[in-house]
Amino acid sequence: MTRISVTVDGASYSDDVEPRMLLVHYLRERLGKTGTVVGCDTSNCGACTVHLGGRSVKSCNVLAVQADGAEITTIEGLAQDGELHPMQAAFHECHALQCGYCTPGMIMQAIDVLNDNPKPSEQEIREGLEGNLCRCTGYHNIVRAVQVASGQEPKAASFEGSSS
Ligand code: FES
Ligand code: FES
């Protein structure tokens, strides 16, 4: 066992973990952060994406011991004082999800994309999200949501009736 100390969604934790334990399993099983989900366990789908030290990572591709000393943000740490994060609000407004399984990772990755490039083109958004798979939406409304969150598309009404 190895002792690690991390800050997750603003709270501090110290735990003994097996050196082989994946960060995603630590978050879900030890801390109860089940908003971060596992889609593949082989670093293909992006469903497990969190922010580690301010950058997005696939948490099934990181050992918990590698996160020792780091600050981690999960989908559960985005809303503040009952207010959705602007990216969460944009996904909601744009109907950018169906089953929702990919959504936590997609939102965490989308925030990272805008942190790098606040006004990305549609192509840059698609490239930034290419490591996150969605089986439901066809990606169209996800891209629109990122455009809304970046202030490049108007909010709300123009998305009414959209279904994909
Ligand atoms: S569960 Fe981590 S990339 Fe799929
Ligand atoms: S909304 Fe179902 S996988 Fe993306």
What is the pLDDT at residue 41? 80
**pTM for the complete prediction?**
0.93
Distance (angstroms) between ligand 2 centre and the Cα of 120 equals 23
Atom of ligand 2 nearest to the CA of 106: 4
What are 51's strand-pairing partners? 56, 73
Exposure on the CB side of residue 157, measured as CA atoms within 13 A: 0
Most ligand 1 atoms within 8 A of CB, residue of 44, 106, 134 to mutate: 44
Which residue's structure tokens are 């989908």? 75
Atom of ligand 2 nearest to the CA of 100: 1
pLDDT in tens, the chain (164 residues): 999 999 999 999 999 999 999 999 999 999 999 999 999 989 999 999 999 999 999 999 999 999 999 999 999 999 999 999 999 999 999 999 999 999 999 999 999 999 999 999 999 999 999 999 999 999 999 999 999 999 998 775 545 444 44
